[in-house]
């Protein structure tokens, strides 16, 4: 029934339109073709002016109306370092294009009106003017050159990668965040797009993201993290992205299936996510979410209830969050890939990281299972830290062991043993909590290969000697660190070489004895000859 | 020869000079293509083929436009029920049992968006615009009997028709038409597991476009050859109207860029059907880790945009050519700076080949390479600006008649300025960081392609309707169409700039997932309503068009506009071969309007002694 | 009337090539169209070759052409005992030579056409067709050898390249023997027995035991696709040549105003096909 009416309406419209046309044509003929044409021209010419005024008013009016909505204008200041630089470029461009827009439109519609048809005129024969051509070729060329220069500077700044000698951090050093220039050290977070969500990964305290392999993806291991790589041990899968203000963040962006795009509008962060080819975007947040909310709270349009159906609920500015979206069509759920980005102060971030550490995927899902590549290691660094933290919470009195200060970058759990630089087994009473652990793990080390043990042994001598040379306190610290590193080194030895057990055991035993002796000598020297 | 400029009813032999080519010695002119099928269906006459392109293009324009209304309804009124569309869209509308509210399936939303883009960019603005007017005007304005190869010309249309038929069929597939965006980026487009539209729908989509590429190549080869070889005596390149220059450069662009698109599509087909990994690398989808490694999605983007960018110039250059002509004729003034205009067309054509990666600034391309593309992209703004200034100067000192063609030509200039200027923002890669894939881009390309190019097409249709059908379209309806569309189109697309600047990405089914986009409900409503109204104005145009074919005011003089170009020297309904005797020779350029006090001097009129003195005093 | 008419000094009666009414390139529209079509086809091939370049250089290793294309029909390569029974690129060189010779015969055919020598045209076109068919047969053999004997397909590629030096721990019963050494950059072929590939184990310089890896997948896909696309052009070219040759033999072009121009057009297409092969050969076999 509805469709019948629709068809009838369509026919009616058709007839009306045709009649309008015919009636006007007839009227024109009655009035006299020439007069009708003249009237028509006059009308259209006047409409040109009306349109000009209306259009410019519309353009200006809508800019004013939408001013509070646009990022970079009004309340929407840009909380990253590169954002305002890009906005400046935008405004310069707007300046030039705005001038051209207004002038050309005025000329276009004014000329259309001014030179409307008149029987007593013949148009002027002005076929060209070369001087004018040169002028209006040169001026746009110069303006474009200006825009290019500003543009390329802003572009190369924004797209640059982190410094070659920058270091990937987990914890940040409080008070080192530079909201104007970022920091040399950076936090690398992993963002993997998939249909239809983001998997956000924090590298944990070692600041390093572990390797992943798409062929290892399972229902529970959504990223395909390869847990043989110890950098994965402390990696945390995030529900929302937590970042510290003032610190450079490097997003390592990839995709599991099709193209996505990592887009945080307020930060002016945007980069395609490509399967099999990680891309990056480096940025530095300059305001925390709280600070941004405070800023927004000054504006009346943000002081309304966030949910119109809950007038007593939080106001818009209170409910504000930076959001992560997908900006490359990825299928039918493209519009729904939302994650929240929270910027916090350095202290809050470190505190958060402490808490978040214990949610590491590896610890919760893999540790202790048959798939655990580190099954043979009784305690990992991260477990130690968590235990200490829990102990501190249960017993708030300060313990003998200094809690690891956020300022340290602990030797990365996953640091591979390269050229034997950090290996030093310090099995003696070096006074660290980890001694017994070290001894047990040294026992485990008996199973490692000849090479590692020998190298380690040699390195023990080297490092210990160095330690002596830097003075007593430093030496004790170095010994502490060496103990940790030894644990690491030994762990790595276990992890990388699982074969050749028996011969390794013998030779390892020898080396360790030698090391013990040498280290014992050194310590004796130290205690006897403080420098 | 004082009457020559009125050239009504004069036989061509009365022209001072003509080219005799023995065309009518062959008597096939009497029986040539007189049957219904050979005259209307498989015609080899360029004028009929032009009309075929036009009407097919209009058909697809309506379909593409209707599609946009459906997805605009989704965006403008997301809560409203679409149950009334169920008889048309079938399984793509799910009706909730509880509330009876019909919702549009997001998969189909994306299919509509994809089809809207594909249909309008390729079928309407490439085939419907260049196909129509290149076919109609190249032989007529150059003084040729027909295209160099009328047979290939016919094939060009029928390949286009076939491409359309295949695309139409894909709309009815159970898995749905292709839904990965008109840009069809793999891996989404290469993996049926990633999207159901990437199954059969994508195969048909590619097949359709490969056929379309064949059509474009057949047409393009013809146009170039005709322009080079079949100009009449005296019609040197520098005397051709700007329309022909535009079509000529457009055809060259098409010839060189569409094959690369085809190659990209072939490789996608291999990835889809033969498990190759040209564009695929390390993918886990549908619960399975795929074996393909080593490919690069970015490679596809390069191959696609190598066509994609020249494509948009293939769309806009013919529109520019038509507008130049209509402006000059109706302002009764020469187009300002003819040589500069020609050089600008050539510069735009050449530069369009080296800017493609500005579509890929955020694609993960090495940022250093992007620097080069920024430079060239901003350079291409210069010849475009020169053209705008020249059009405005054409109006200066003119004596302007506001027929519908002229109205659309003036509107074109305004829209090209608006849309072109936002291109300068986007071409600067740093600004592209926040603006890429947002509504700012949508606003830019719609204003420049979706409105400006259409305005060029409308200007051409209104202006040359008499040449096609021997009648005029209705003036009043034309004016209503113009003002309605002018205001409506700006109302639809201008607010999108602001939405884009708020960071809202494009190709979003719903704005309500995110806080930063949720604030635009009122704007979306406004845009949707404006779109529906503007589409209504296009219906007026369609009615006007078809009604006027049969009942429009008859053309009574050969040259109703007082134009100088050759097409107005033919009879009102030019038959096969265009001119009954020899072909008039040409003695001057196409823009002698208002020269020495004469309203216009046709190209065919020889130069008088007095004029020679005038020319020496005012060289051009 | 005539005395007031003065023709423009710069055009008209001056018979300039570009002043309209004549062909500026002095070439009929048919030939012009063939040139433009070839231009567009060149861009299609360019697209494919650029795809090849991109994928090849973004891949960490790539098959060594000398190893991949080291056989010839009828076991001819075994005669080359000084090369360990391999004839790197010999067959493909022969193939290319054949195609180039066929272009030369085509030029002769066109020449005869200018002299309106029907029999001459037929003879030389016939030779061209033989050359074309010969090329296609060689390509067919190459394909069947790669697919049937060496088991390379669009998705599998048993031709790999070593990225480090080492010593083989086992032989493959073909060219590789136990304890043979190799360097980084050397190519190899993984043979298939009983329907499965048997990658050999080797020990590298660090003493680790590893297994050979299959070559990059893209190689197979690119090779078959691009040579296939080219082969399709050769095939269609042969068909056109046959048709035109039959037309020549039937005397169709004797009376035509443009004479044997059709032969020239087909010749243009054939030369294009040959030129593309030069580029494909360059890219695939020498780079």
pLDDT at A448 over 50: no
Q: What is the least distance, in Å, from the CA of B300 to any CA of chain C?
A: 8
Q: Do B195 and A332 touch (CB under 8 A)?
A: yes
Nearest beta carbon to residue B436 from set A89, A270, A335: A270
Alpha-carbon span B353 to B311, nearest angstrom: 10
Residue B253's pLDDT is 95
Distances (CA, A) of B144 to B507, B570, B589: 46, 11, 17
Q: Give the angle B208-B209-B212 at the CA atoms, nearest 5°.
A: 95
Give B-chain residues touching A155 at CB under 8 angstroms: 367, 370-371, 374, 428-430
Take residue A125 and report the two structure tokens written for it.
């024969």
Under 8 Å between Cβ of A361 and A479: no
Residue A417's pLDDT is 33
Distances (CA, A) of B259 to B178, B558, C38, C45: 22, 41, 11, 8
Q: Which residue has the higher pLDDT, A347 or A423?
A: A347
Residues 6+ apart with CB under 8 A from A419: none
Q: What is the least distance, in Å, from the CA of B27 to any CA of chain A?
A: 42
Nearest beta carbon to residue B339 from set A76, A128, A137: A128
Under 8 Å between Cβ of C260 and C109: no
Residue A462's pLDDT is 55
Alpha-carbon span C128 to C136, nearest angstrom: 12
Lowest mean pLDDT among A431-435, B118-122, B137-141: A431-435
What average pLDDT does this structure show over C9-36? 72
Residue A20's pLDDT is 86
Q: Which residue has the higher pLDDT, A419 or A448?
A: A448
Q: Do B433 and A158 touch (CB under 8 A)?
A: yes
Give me the residues paired with residue B102 across strands: B95
pLDDT at B240 over 60: yes
Cβ–Cβ contact B547 with A under 8 A: yes
Q: Give the angle A273-B502-B68 at the CA atoms, nearest 5°.
A: 80
Alpha-carbon span A426 to A437, nearest angstrom: 11
Q: Do B402 and A117 touch (CB under 8 A)?
A: yes
Nearest beta carbon to residue C218 from set B143, B294, B607: B294
* Closest chain A residue to the Cα of B182, Cα to Cα: A329
- For A117-164, the pLDDT digits (tens) are 877 777 788 888 889 999 999 999 999 999 999 999 999 999 988 888
Distances (CA, A) of A287 to A292, A324, A352, B347: 6, 16, 17, 46
- For B303-321, the pLDDT digits (tens) are 999 999 999 999 999 999 9
Q: Is ipTM > 0.95 here?
A: no
DSSP calls for A117-138: --TT---------HHHHHHHHH
Q: What is the mean pLDDT of chain C?
A: 85
The SS3 assignment for A479 reads: helix
Q: What is the mean pLDDT of chain B?
A: 90
Instruction: Kindly calculate the radius of gyration of chain C based on its CA atoms and give it in whole angstroms.
Output: 26
Domain spans, chain B:
2-617
Structure-token match 């696709």, residue found: C225
Under 8 Å between Cβ of A216 and A203: no
Under 8 Å between Cβ of B211 and B163: yes
Q: What is the mean pLDDT of chain A?
A: 81
Residue B252's pLDDT is 95
Cβ–Cβ contact C24 with B under 8 A: yes
Cβ–Cβ contact C25 with B under 8 A: yes
Under 8 Å between Cβ of B316 and B448: yes
Most confident of A63-67, B558-562, C255-259: A63-67
- For B389-435, the pLDDT digits (tens) are 999 999 998 899 999 999 999 999 999 999 999 999 999 999 999 99
* Closest chain B residue to the Cα of C7, Cα to Cα: B607
Residue A433's pLDDT is 38
Structure-token match 């572990």, residue found: A210
Binned at pLDDT 50, 70 and 90, residue C185 comes out as confident
Answer yes or no: pTM beyond 0.80.
Answer: yes
- For B537-591, the pLDDT digits (tens) are 999 999 999 999 999 999 998 899 999 999 998 888 888 888 887 888 888 889 9
Determine if the peptide bond prior to B328 is cis (ω within 30°). no
Residues 6+ apart with CB under 8 A from B413: A108, B323, B388, B391, B392
Binned at pLDDT 50, 70 and 90, residue A523 comes out as confident
Lowest mean pLDDT among A306-315, B179-188, B546-555, C226-235: A306-315
Residue C100's pLDDT is 94
Q: Give the angle B45-B48-B53 at the CA atoms, nearest 5°.
A: 120
pLDDT at B280 over 80: yes
- For B119-132, the pLDDT digits (tens) are 999 999 999 999 99
Question: Which of B563, B550, B584 lies closest to B470, judged by CA?
Answer: B550
CA B231 to chain CA mean position, Å: 25
Binned at pLDDT 50, 70 and 90, residue A398 comes out as low
Take residue B513 and report the two structure tokens written for it.
């997932």
Residue A480's pLDDT is 58
Question: Which of B217, B305, B256 lies closest to C46, judged by CA?
Answer: B256
To which CATH superfamily is domain C29-155+216-286 assigned?
Cytochrome c oxidase, subunit III, four-helix bundle (1.20.120.80)
Residue A493's pLDDT is 58
Residues 6+ apart with CB under 8 A from B6: B559
What average pLDDT does this structure show over C101-122? 92
Domain spans, chain C:
29-155+216-286, 162-211
Cβ–Cβ contact A279 with B under 8 A: yes
CATH number of B2-617: 1.20.210.10
Phi, psi of C24 (to 5 degrees): -65, -35
CA B192 to chain CA mean position, Å: 31
Alpha-carbon span A86 to A71, nearest angstrom: 11
Q: What is the 3-state secondary structure (H, E, C) of A8-19?
A: HHHHHHHHHHHH
pLDDT at B10 over 60: no
What average pLDDT does this structure show over B44-72? 94
Domains of chain A: 24-118+130-159 (no CATH), 186-357 (2.60.40.420), 415-528 (no CATH)
Cβ–Cβ contact B10 with C under 8 A: no
- For A95-110, the pLDDT digits (tens) are 999 999 999 999 999 9
- For C74-85, the pLDDT digits (tens) are 877 777 777 677
pLDDT at A483 over 70: no
Give me the residues paired with residue B284 across strands: B289
The SS3 assignment for A247 reads: coil
- Chain A 301-320, residues with CB within 8 Å of chain B CB atoms: 319-320
- For A191-222, the pLDDT digits (tens) are 999 999 999 999 988 899 999 999 999 888 89
């Amino acid at each position: 029934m509805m469709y019948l009416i629709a068809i009838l309406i369509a026919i009616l419209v058709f007839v009306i339109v045709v009649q309008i046309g015919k009636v006007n044509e007839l009227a024109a003929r009655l009035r006299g073709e020439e007069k009708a044409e003249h009237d028509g021209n006059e009308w259209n010419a006047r409409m040109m002016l009306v349109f000009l005024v209306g259009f410019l008013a519309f353009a200006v009016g809508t800019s004013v109306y939408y001013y509070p909505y646009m990022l970079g204008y009004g309340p929407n200041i840009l909380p990253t370092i590169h954002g305002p630089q890009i906005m400046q470029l935008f405004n310069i461009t707007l300046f030039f294009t705005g001038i051209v827009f207004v002038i050309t439109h005025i000329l276009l519609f004014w000329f259309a009106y001014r030179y409307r048809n008149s029987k007593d005129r013949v148009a002027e024969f002005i076929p060209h003017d070369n001087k004018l051509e040169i002028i209006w070729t040169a001026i746009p060329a110069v303006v474009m050159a200006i825009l290019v220069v500003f543009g390329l500077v802003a572009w190369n700044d924004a797209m640059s990668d982190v410094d070659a000698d920058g270091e990937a951090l987990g914890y940040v050093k409080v008070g080192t965040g530079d909201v104007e220039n970022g920091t040399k050290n950076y936090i690398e977070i992993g963002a993997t797009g998939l249909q239809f969500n983001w998997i956000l990964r924090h590298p944990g305290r070692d600041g390093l993201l572990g390797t992943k392999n798409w062929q290892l993806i399972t229902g529970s291991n959504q990223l395909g993290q390869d847990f043989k790589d110890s950098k994965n041990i402390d990696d945390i899968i995030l529900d929302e992205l937590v970042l510290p203000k003032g610190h450079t963040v490097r997003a390592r962006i990839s995709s599991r299936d099709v193209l996505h795009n990592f887009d945080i509008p307020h930060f002016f962060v945007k980069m395609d996510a490509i399967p099999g080819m990680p891309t990056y975007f480096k940025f530095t947040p300059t305001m925390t979410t709280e600070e941004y909310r405070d800023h927004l709270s000054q504006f009346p349009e943000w002081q309304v209830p966030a949910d119109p159906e809950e007038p007593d609920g939080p106001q818009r500015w209170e409910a504000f969050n930076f959001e992560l979206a997908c900006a490359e069509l990825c299928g039918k759920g493209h519009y729904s890939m939302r994650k929240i980005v929270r910027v916090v102060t350095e202290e809050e971030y470190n505190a958060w990281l402490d808490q978040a550490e214990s949610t590491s995927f590896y610890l919760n899902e893999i540790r202790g299972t048959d798939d655990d590549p580190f099954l043979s290691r009784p305690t990992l660094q991260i477990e130690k830290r968590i235990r200490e933290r829990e102990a501190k919470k249960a017993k708030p009195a300060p313990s003998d062991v200094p809690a690891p200060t956020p300022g340290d970058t602990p030797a990365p759990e996953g640091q591979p043993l390269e050229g034997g630089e950090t290996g030093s087994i310090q099995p003696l009473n070096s006074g660290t909590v980890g001694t017994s652990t070290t001894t047990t793990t040294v026992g485990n080390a008996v199973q490692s290969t000849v090479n590692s043990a020998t190298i380690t042994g040699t390195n023990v001598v080297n490092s210990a000697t160095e330690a002596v040379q830097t003075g007593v306190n430093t030496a004790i610290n170095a010994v502490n660190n060496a103990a940790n590193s030894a644990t690491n080194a030994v762990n790595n030895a276990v992890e990388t070489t699982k074969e050749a057990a028996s011969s390794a055991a013998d030779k390892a035993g020898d080396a360790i004895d030698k090391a013990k002796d040498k280290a014992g000598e050194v310590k004796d020297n130290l205690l006897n000859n403080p420098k | 020869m004082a009457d020559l400029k009125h050239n009504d009813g004069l036989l061509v032999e009365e022209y001072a000079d003509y080219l005799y080519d023995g065309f009518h010695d062959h008597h096939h002119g009497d029986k040539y293509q007189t049957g219904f099928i050979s005259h209307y269906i498989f015609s080899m006459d360029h004028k009929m083929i032009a009309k075929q392109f036009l009407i097919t293009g209009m058909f697809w324009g309506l379909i593409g436009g209707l599609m946009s209304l459906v997805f605009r309804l989704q965006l403008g009124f997301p809560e409203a029920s679409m149950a009334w569309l169920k008889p048309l869209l079938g399984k793509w509308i799910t009706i909730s049992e509880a509330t009876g509210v019909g919702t549009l399936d997001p998969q189909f939303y994306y299919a509509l968006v994809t089809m809207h883009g594909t249909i309008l960019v390729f079928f309407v603005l490439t085939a419907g615009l260049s196909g129509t007017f290149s076919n109609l005007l190249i032989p007529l304005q150059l003084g040729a009997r027909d295209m160099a190869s009328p047979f290939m010309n016919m094939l060009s249309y029928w390949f286009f028709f076939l491409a359309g038929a295949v695309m139409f069929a894909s709309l009815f597939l159970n898995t749905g038409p292709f839904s990965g965006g008109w840009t069809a980026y793999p891996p989404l487009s290469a993996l049926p597991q990633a999207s159901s539209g990437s199954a059969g729908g994508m195969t048909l989509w590619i097949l359709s476009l490969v056929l379309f590429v064949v059509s474009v190549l057949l047409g393009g080869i013809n146009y170039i050859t005709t322009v080079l070889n079949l100009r009449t005596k005296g019609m040197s390149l520098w005397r051709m109207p700007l329309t022909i220059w535009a079509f000529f450069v457009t055809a060259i662009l098409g010839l060189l860029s569409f094959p690369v698109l085809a190659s990209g599509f072939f490789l996608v087909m291999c990835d889809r059907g033969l498990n190759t990994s040209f564009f695929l690398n390390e993918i886990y989808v549908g619960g399975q880790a795929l074996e393909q490694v080593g490919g690069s999605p970015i490679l596809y983007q390069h191959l696609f945009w190598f066509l994609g960018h020249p494509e948009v110039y293939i769309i806009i250059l013919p529109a520019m050519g038509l507008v130049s002509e209509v402006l000059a004729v109706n302002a009764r003034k020469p187009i300002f700076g003819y040589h500069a205009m020609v050089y600008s067309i050539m510069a735009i054509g050449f530069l369009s080949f080296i800017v493609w990666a500005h579509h890929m600034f955020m694609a993960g391309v090495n940022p250093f390479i992007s620097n080069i593309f920024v430079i060239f992209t901003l350079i291409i703004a210069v010849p475009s600006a020169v053209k705008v200034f020249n059009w405005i100067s054409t109006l200066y000192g003119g004596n302007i008649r506001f027929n519908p063609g002229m109205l659309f030509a003036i509107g074109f200039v305004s829209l090209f300025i608006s849309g072109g200027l936002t291109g300068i923002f986007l071409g600067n890669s740093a600004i592209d960081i926040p603006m890429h894939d947002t509504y700012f881009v949508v606003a830019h390309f719609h204003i420049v392609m979706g409105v400006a190019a259409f305005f060029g097409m409308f200007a051409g249709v209104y202006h040359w309707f008499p040449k096609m059908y021997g009648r005029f379209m209705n003036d009043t309806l034309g004016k209503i169409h113009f003002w309605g569309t002018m205001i409506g189109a700006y109302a639809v697309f201008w607010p999108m700039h602001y939405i884009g600047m708020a960071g809202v990405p494009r190709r979003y089914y719903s704005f309500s997932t995110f806080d930063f986009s949720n604030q635009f409900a009122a704007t979306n409503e406004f845009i949707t309503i404006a779109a529906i109204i503007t589409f209504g104005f296009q219906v007026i145009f369609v009615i006007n068009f078809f009604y006027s074919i049969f009942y429009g005011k008859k053309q009574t003089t050969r040259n109703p506009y007082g134009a100088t170009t050759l097409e107005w020297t033919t009879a009102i309904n030019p038959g096969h071969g265009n001119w009954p005797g020899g072909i008039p020779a040409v003695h001057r350029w196409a823009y002698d309007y208002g020269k020495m006090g004469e309203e216009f001097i046709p190209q065919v009129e020889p130069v008088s002694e007095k004029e020679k003195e005038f020319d020496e005093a005012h060289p051009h | 009337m005539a005395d007031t008419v003065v023709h423009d000094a710069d055009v008209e009666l001056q018979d300039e090539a570009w002043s309209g009414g004549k062909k500026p390139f002095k070439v009929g529209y048919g030939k012009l169209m063939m040139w433009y079509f070839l231009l567009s086809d060149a861009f299609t091939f360019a697209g494919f070759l650029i795809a090849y370049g991109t994928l090849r250089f973004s891949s960490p290793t790539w098959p060594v052409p000398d190893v991949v294309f080291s056989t010839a029909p009828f076991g001819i390569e075994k005669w080359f005992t000084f090369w360990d029974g391999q004839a790197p690129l010999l067959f493909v060189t022969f193939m290319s030579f054949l195609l180039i010779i066929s272009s030369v015969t085509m030029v002769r055919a066109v020449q005869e056409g200018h002299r309106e020598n029907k029999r001459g045209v037929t003879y030389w076109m016939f030779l061209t067709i033989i050359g074309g068919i010969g090329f296609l047969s060689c390509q067919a053999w190459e394909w069947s050898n790669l697919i049937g004997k060496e088991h390379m397909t669009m998705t599998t590629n048993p031709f790999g390249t070593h990225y480090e030096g080492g010593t083989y721990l086992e032989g493959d019963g073909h060219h590789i023997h136990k304890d043979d050494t190799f360097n980084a950059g050397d190519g190899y072929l993984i043979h298939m027995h009983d329907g499965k590939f048997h990658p050999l184990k080797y020990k590298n310089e660090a003493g680790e035991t590893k297994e050979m890896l299959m070559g990059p997948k893209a190689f197979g896909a690119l090779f078959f696709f691009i040579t296939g696309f080219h082969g399709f052009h050769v095939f269609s070219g042969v068909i056109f040549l046959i048709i035109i040759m039959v037309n020549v033999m039937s005397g169709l072009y004797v009376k035509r105003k443009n004479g044997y121009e059709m032969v020239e057009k087909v010749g243009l297409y054939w030369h294009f096909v040959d030129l593309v092969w030069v580029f494909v050969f360059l890219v695939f076999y020498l780079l």
